[in-house]
A and B are shown apart, each in its own frame.
Chain A
Amino acid sequence: MKEKSKFLKPEYLENRELSWLQFNKRILAEAKDKSILLFERMKFLSISASNLDEFFMIRIASLMDMVHAGYNKKDIAGMTAQQQLDVIIPETKEFMTDQYTTYNRALLPRLEKCGLHIIRHHEDLTEQQAEYVDEYFKRNVYPVLTPMAVDQSRPFPLIQNKTLNIGALIKDKKNKDVVDIATVQVPSVLSRIVEIPSDNEGVKTIILLEEVIERNLDKLFLNYTILSAHPYRIMRNADLTIDEDDAADLLKEIEKQIKKRQWGEVIRLEVADTMDKRLLKKLMEQLNVGETNLYKIKGPLDLTFLMKAYGLDGFEEYKLPKFVPQPVPGIERERGIFEQIQEGDILLHHPYYEFTPVIDFISQAANDPNVLAIKQTLYRVSGNSPIVASLARAAENGKQVTVLVELKARFDEENNIVWARKLEKAGCHVIYGLVGLKTHSKIALVVRREEDGIRRYVHLGTGNYNDVTAKLYTDMGLLTCNDAIGEDATAVFNMLSGYSEPPAWNKLMVAPIWLKDRFLKLIDREAENTRKGKPAKIIAKMNSLCDPMIIEALYKASAAGVQIDLIIRGICCLKVGIPGISENIHVRSIVGNFLEHSRIFYFYNDGFEDVYMGSADWMPRNLDKRVEITFPVEDDKLKQEVIRILQLQLDDTLKAHILQPNGREYEKQDLRGLDKIAAQDEFCKQAMKKKSKINEDVIKTVFEPAFHKIN
């Protein structure tokens, strides 16, 4: 082993979970932000809740596993798993308190004012409303409920992960001394939000399903008296670890794991803070939960219902108008996409511009008699994906279709297995990923027979082939028929199909083997240039940064004097402003209506600017354990366009949270003396404008690196 670098001292690095919690705080901050439309705030609160659920299921669960396994290795910030839990759990509880304060104090009164009345307790219903609710219960809810009483002869049932349940203390009407507990799941097939008649005009009134059930609980346990009833919710350890060496058939193994997942250990029990103590005690016993993992909630459990509330009809003035992705400038839908790619590379910037060219790319390939083969990776696809349909059609049209379906995409396994089967049936050659490596790269290859020979068309992207998320996530894509990239794309699929790896790549940087080295070299090159007195600059945008080797290289580059701007949405284990280490690094995180998702890397390279985009974050899992592709943008016009996109995000003053020196807190900028710029809004505006003057030259807004000032 190498000597520990002076750049990688634990105090120079942030724990990734704590950094992640900061990220979720930034989301919650949006929910608190009064300058944001009310319903949008509600959405942010909902997102912070679903994020937290996932954080529990994966990260906290995994830390707990480590503790159980007696794994004592420290993370990069020098903390053992137990030490991390000791900090994270109280911080999480604090965070949840903050969420509910936001809900109760900031959102509820304002929702009330704008005409959305949420009935918090069924006791508050008017007589007329109560009648409606009871009728609703009888007709819609009662038939799907499965009440379960627990006594000596009936054990406590299996409570499913993430489901909402009602626990009750019940007393036998005949045998007055015995108090038992009962539980019933709030059915997830029914809408959590029940709209009921309002007593005031112009007001929409809703009640949550659990309140409806609670009110009618006596109808479920006819021979019992209900002493008290309260909702609760559990979270189980769901980190899916598959031993691929043992699993002969990966698919079967994953199907098995999905079933197993329900049986995991309970790592979080959420209950209403008003819950009867006796009931709480019994639940904790039955679910084997201690005080640490108990979360008492002041309000409705599982705030993700707010996303549904967002979707309620009306209230348009409290929601942002839906942005419609604009047609990509220069692309004519009437003309074949291949012909247009031949004329030059096409840059895609979602969701400001349409995802349609990508859908057309596959769909036209499926119908084009000259297309011989289509190959694509699918990681997370939408329900009813037009791309999946096109691929199936292509196979039916006799084309050679190879699809790599990644079954290991978190929580999407069930969904993916369905697509995989469907594609197989249509005659596609479906590959289920490489053993030990998750295929995260987003690449599609079309082999087309043309007049003068075989030509390969490639789409490379930073986001999944998902037409739905393409309207919500900011992603970049490139359509090209560059020969060198085409050869590389073929080699990528050969590698994924189990053939030998190519000895070298022309243009693409491919993880797990080659990518990290290349990034390190590119960073070092900037450091080297700055040592030679040349200007040097790095701009990198990604979702997470926690690879120690990359951080080390960035610290070294910063120490050498390279100006480094990082735009990192989520986790960032790097600290800024450490004297002599990271004073030249600036980190910002943009939280906006669209989920920032693209990964873009810029290196000044002594004036020969290099721009790369891709699927990989600077995380060990991306660089070492996944198949990732990062690709260069070489066309000068497109390169300048990408640089302009980066620059606008660096200019963002409204939605950017700036990482503070030597800490993990982020703060928004003081707006005094600054133009108010929200990059996402600007991109929307520009896209709308482009529609009218499509062939406007983008080169006009040339990016001028800031280092000119230093020299």
Chain B
Amino acid sequence: MVYKTFAAIDVGSSGVSMKIFEITTRKGYRQIDYVSNIIELGSDTYANGYISQESVERLCDILLGFMKKMREYDTVDYCAYATSAIREAKNNMMVLDLIKMRTGLTVQILSNSEHRFLMYKGLAVKADYFDKIVEKNTAIVDLGAGSIQISLMNNGKLTATQNIPIGALRVRERLKTLRFGNAQLVHVMEELIANEIDTFQHYYLREKEIKNIIAIGDEIQNLIRIVPELSIKDNINEEQLNAIFDKLISTSVMDLAMEYKIPYERATLLLPAVIIYDIFLRRAKADLIWTPSIDLCDGIIVEELERSKKLTFERNFEDDIRSSVFQIAKRYRCNNLHNHNVTKIACQIFDKTKRIHGLKEKQRLQLEIAATLHDCGKFINMNNATFNSYSIIMSTEIVGLSHKEREEIANIVRYNAQQLPDYDELSGSIGDCDYMTIAKLAAILKVANAMDRSHKQKASEYSMAVKEKQLIITVDTLDDLALERGLFKDKAEFFQRVYGIEPVLKQKRSM
């Protein structure tokens, strides 16, 4: 059999959906089935903080239906992700366990940044006009049930991303308690949202002009659906958006749901959604809103294909992570040359010691990010910079990383300068983080950092080799390495404790 099938399941905040894909080496992948059900887990979580028993039962019934569907294609491999509704629920662990026990399905919780990054991947692969649009300044506005994610692209690269806790469902729930007429509602919402958007604009956009907006999320397709008379294809302009707006204001939710066959619950989310898009369009002064039909499942399959190396994509998604991390470093005025040098050395050590540390690609990326951001705390105060760096990383969203991965990076940065406490001492304060990942990567970063202690990039080339119980690093430079050597010993000790081999610094003067 030259093909396999794969199910991508999205346990979202306003609905649960599954796409089944067929993957062939020859023809790539194609979607062969798509099912979805409305279940507003988000209204449980955002209102009460918990997911109710009834919702869990219904969710399990739906998932059992999905599993039946999977059997129709003999589909065994799947990936099921839960997003903000379950993530933010206080009983999330119980919910996942109940699902596991009743259905056998393992559902994993995605952090917001992982979730959004998957959406982004789905977008980049599925929307054929994507590459062309993002050459110009583009904002990807991913409107979810619980929050909105705004990502900026420039010259085809992801430069910034920010989460704002204004989602269609959350806004609807918040406004439910206040009884407004439609006209008033718009005004109130505008005030509520505009403030957040202005703040974002101030920090990220400044004088930059946004040319395009790409709207993704659950509601955008339904917005298009209520205006068949506009025959919208790929994008909406301001005039069309106004037409949608007017229709929403003048038509009751019940009528909308009936006429355009949109589930009632979904229809209630349309007005908050269009207001959010409208405000964004006006504030950002963009020309067009692009409306690709993308959901999390489309991102899940891209991730699966990358993971299984079944298909390669033109776009290197790790580069998107790198470029957004680079933008963070830039914001905190990190020393670009030093960072670059440390990153280069750290990666070189990582690559040379692969067999010894046994870490994976993702950890290499963590190392790169740690190296890029290790100094960012100096922006706040040169004293106690390490802890400041740690704090910045802990409270900055980094696209494509899970919370755990980011926390590990923060710890790597922290224990790059400080001494790593014993496992017993640390384990309580690092949550799910893997102690050894922190230790191993911190050890590499320490050595790499020491090599450029002077921040002068004294050498252009480093060669490394593992020989018996030594990692020999040869620096080709005419400069004096006294400072580096002085620090190196210290760092080497820690490295040796972690890896069982000793880094040795040698100098070659070949010039």
Q: Which residues of A contact B (CB under 8 A)?
A: 372-373, 400, 429, 447, 449, 451-454, 487, 490-491, 494, 497-503, 513
Contact (Cβ within 8 A) A447 B73: yes
12 contacts between A and B (CB under 8 A): A449-B1, A451-B1, A452-B24, A452-B27, A453-B27, A454-B5, A454-B22, A497-B35, A497-B65, A499-B36, A503-B221, A513-B261
B35 and A500 form a contact (CB under 8 A): yes
Q: Which of chain B's residues have a CB closer than 8 A to the CB of A497?
A: 35, 65
Q: Select which of A429, A502, A513 is within 8 A of B68 by beta carbon.
A: A429
Question: How distant is B104 from chain A, measured CB to nearest CB, in Å?
Answer: 17
Chain A residue contacts of B15, Cβ below 8 A: 500
Q: Are A453 and B221 in contact (CB under 8 A)?
A: no
Q: In B24-60, which residues have CB < 8 Å from any A CB?
A: 24, 26-27, 32-38
How many angstroms from the CA of A372 to the CA of B22 in the assembled complex? 14
CB closest residue in chain A, given B70: A400
Name the contact of A500 in the complex, choosing from B5, B22, B26, B37 (C-beta under 8 A): B37
CB–CB A449/B68 < 8 A:
no
Interface 1/0 per residue, B413-451 and A, CB below 8 Å? 000000000000000000000000000000000000000
Whether the pair B2, A372 counts as a contact (CB closer than 8 A) is no
B38 contacts A500, CB within 8 Å?
Answer: yes
- Can you name the residue of chain A whose Cβ is closest to the Cβ of B221? A503
A372, B35: Cβ atoms closer than 8 Å: no
Interchain nearest-CB distance for A284 vs B (Å): 48
With A494-B33, A503-B221, A513-B261 given, is the CB distance from A454 to B73 under 8 Å? yes
Residues of A with C-beta under 8 A to B1: 449, 451
What's the interface size class on B, roughly? Answer: 20 to 34
B71 proximal to A (CB < 8 A): yes
Structural contact, A372 and B221, CB atoms closer than 8 A: no
Are A500 and B74 interface neighbours, CB within 8 A?
A: no
The residue from A373, A452, A494 contacting B3, defined by CB atoms under 8 A apart:
A452
In the complex, chain A residues whose CB is within 8 Å of the CB of B68: 400, 429
- Rounded to whole angstroms, the CA-CA distance of A429 and B65 in the bound complex is 11
Contacts of A499 in B (CB 8 A): 35-37, 65
Chain B contacts for A447, CB-based, 8 A: 72-73
Partner of A400, one of B71, B221, B293: B71
The 4 A-B pairs with the shortest beta carbon distances in the complex, nearest first, are: A373-B72, A499-B35, A400-B72, A500-B36
Residues on A with beta carbons closer than 8 Å to the beta carbon of B27: 452-453
Q: Please name all residues of chain B whose beta carbon is closer than 8 Å to the beta carbon of A498 when the two chains form the complex.
A: 37, 65
Q: Cβ of A373: which chain B residues have Cβ within 8 Å of it?
A: 71-73
> By the criterion CB–CB under 8 Å, are A453 and B3 in contact?
yes
- Contact indicator B74/A453 (Cβ below 8 Å): no
Instruction: Provide the bound-state CA to CA distance between A490 and B26, in Å.
Output: 24
Whole-angstrom CA separation of A543 from B72 in the bound complex: 36
Name the B residues within 8 Å of A452 (CB-CB): 2-3, 24, 26-27
Residues of A within 8 A of B5 (CB): 454
Smallest CB–CB gap between B293 and chain A, Å? 8
On chain A, the residues within 8 Å of B71 by CB distance are 372-373, 400
> What is the CA–CA distance of A490 and B20 in the complex, to the nearest angstrom?
12
On chain A, the residues within 8 Å of B3 by CB distance are 452-454
Instruction: Say yes or no for B263: interface residue by CB 8 A criterion.
Output: yes
B87 beta carbon closer than 8 Å to chain A: no
CA gap between A500 and B34 in the complex, in Å: 9
Q: B136 in the interface, Cβ–Cβ < 8 Å?
A: no
With A452-B24, A452-B27, A498-B37 given, name 15 new contacts (CB 8 A).
A372-B73, A373-B72, A400-B68, A447-B72, A449-B74, A451-B2, A453-B24, A494-B35, A499-B35, A499-B36, A499-B37, A499-B65, A500-B15, A500-B35, A500-B37
Closest chain B CB from A482 CB (angstroms): 14
**Is A372 in contact with B65, judged by CB distance below 8 angstroms?**
no
Query: Is B403 among interface residues, defined by CB-CB distance under 8 A?
Result: no
Q: Would B26 and A372 count as touching, CB distance under 8 A?
A: no
Say how far A591's CB is from chain B's closest CB, in angstroms: 39
Within 8 A of A (CB), among B153-197: none
Minimum CB–CB distance from B44 to chain A (whole Å) comes to 20
Is B211's CB within 8 Å of the partner chain A? no
Q: Are B34 and A502 in contact (CB under 8 A)?
A: yes
Of the candidates B24, B34, B72, the one whose C-beta lies within 8 Å of that of A372 is: B72
A503/B225 in contact, CB under 8 A:
yes
Closest residue of chain B to A453, judged by CB? B3
Bound together, the chains give a CA A490 to CA B32 distance in angstroms of 9
List B contacts of A449 (CB < 8 A). Answer: 1, 74
Considering the chains assembled together, what is the distance between the CA atoms of A491 and B73 in angstroms?
Answer: 15
Given A454-B5, A454-B73, the answer on whether A501 and B65 have CB atoms closer than 8 Å is no
Interchain CA distance A124-B2 in the complex, whole Å: 81
For residue A495, which residue of chain B has the nearest CB? B35
For the complex formed, measure the closest distance between the CB of B68 and the CB atoms of chain A, giving whole angstroms: 7
Across-interface contacts of A372 in B (CB, < 8 A): 71-74
Q: Hey, which chain B residues are within 8 Å of A454, CB to CB?
A: 3, 5, 22, 32, 73
Q: Across the interface, which residues of A come within 8 angstroms of B72, CB to CB?
A: 372-373, 400, 447
- Nearest CB in chain B: distance from A512 CB, A: 9
A429 to B37, CA, bound (A): 19
Residue-by-residue, is B1-31 near A (CB-CB < 8 Å gives 1, otherwise 0)? 1110100000000010100001010110000
A500 near B2 with CB under 8 A, answer no
Residue of A nearest to B3 (CB): A453
Minimum C-beta distance from A516 to chain B (A): 13
Cα(A451)–Cα(B68), bound, Å: 23
On chain A, the residues within 8 Å of B74 by CB distance are: 372, 449
In angstroms, how far is the closest chain B Cβ from the Cβ of A502? 7
CB distance from A347 to the nearest CB of B (A): 26
User: Which of B15, B27, B38, B68 counts the most chain A CB atoms within 10 A?
Assistant: B68
Give A503 to B221 CA distance when docked, in angstroms: 9
Complex Cα spacing A658 to B225, Å: 44
CB pair B36 A490 closer than 8 Å: no
Most buried by A among B3, B32, B68: B32
B495 to chain A, nearest CB (A): 50
- Cα-based distance from A19 to B1 in the complex (angstroms): 59
Residues of B within 8 A of A500 (CB): 15, 17, 35-38, 263
Q: Name which residue of chain A comes closest to B225, CB basis.
A: A503
Give the nearest-CB partner of B15 in chain A: A500
Looking at A494, A497, A503, A513, the one whose CB has the most chain B CB atoms below 10 A away is A503
A449 to B24, CA, bound (A): 13
Shortest Cβ gap from B402 to chain A (Å): 29
Instruction: Kindly list chain B residues whose C-beta atoms are within 8 Å of the C-beta of A490.
Output: 32-33
Q: How far is the CA of A503 from the CA of B219 in the complex (A)?
A: 13
Q: Which chain B residue has the least Cβ–Cβ distance from A497?
A: B65
> Which residues from A are CB-within-8-Å of B261?
501, 513
Min CB–CB distance A569 → chain B (angstroms) = 32
Chain B residues positioned under 8 Å from A453 (CB to CB): 3, 22, 24, 27
Distance between Cα atoms of A491 and B33 in the complex (Å) = 8
Q: Kindly provide the distance from the CB of B37 to the nearest chain A CB, expressed in whole angstroms.
A: 6
A501 — which chain B residues lie within 8 A by C-beta?
261
Question: Which residue of B35, B65, B74 has the most chain A CB atoms within 10 A of its CB atom?
Answer: B35
State A700–B221 Cα separation when bound (angstroms): 48
Distance in angstroms between the alpha carbons of A373 and B5 in the assembled complex: 15
- For B216-233 the 0/1 string (1 means CB < 8 A from A) is 000001000100000000
Give the CA-CA distance A490 to B225 in the complex, in Å.
22
- Please report the C-alpha to C-alpha distance between residue A691 and residue B3 in the assembled complex, in whole angstroms: 41
- The complex places the Cα of A497 from the Cα of B69 at a distance, in Å, of 10
CB-CB contacts below 8 Å: B255-301 with A: 261, 263, 293
Contacts of B65 in A (CB 8 A): 497-499
- Give A661 to B5 CA distance when docked, in angstroms: 60
Which residues of chain A come closer than 8 Å to B35, judged between CB atoms? 494, 497, 499-500
Closest to A401 in B: B72
Cα A502 to Cα B33 in complex, Å, equals: 11
Separation of A490 and B221 alpha carbons in the complex (Å):
21
Tell me the smallest distance from the CB of B299 to a CB of chain A, in Å. 19
Closest to A490 in B: B33
**What are the residues of chain A within 8 A of B263 when measuring CB–CB?**
500
A350 CB to closest chain B CB (Å) equals 29
Distance, CA A641 to CA B72, complexed state (A): 35
For the complex formed, measure the closest distance between the CB of A67 and the CB atoms of chain B, giving whole angstroms.
31
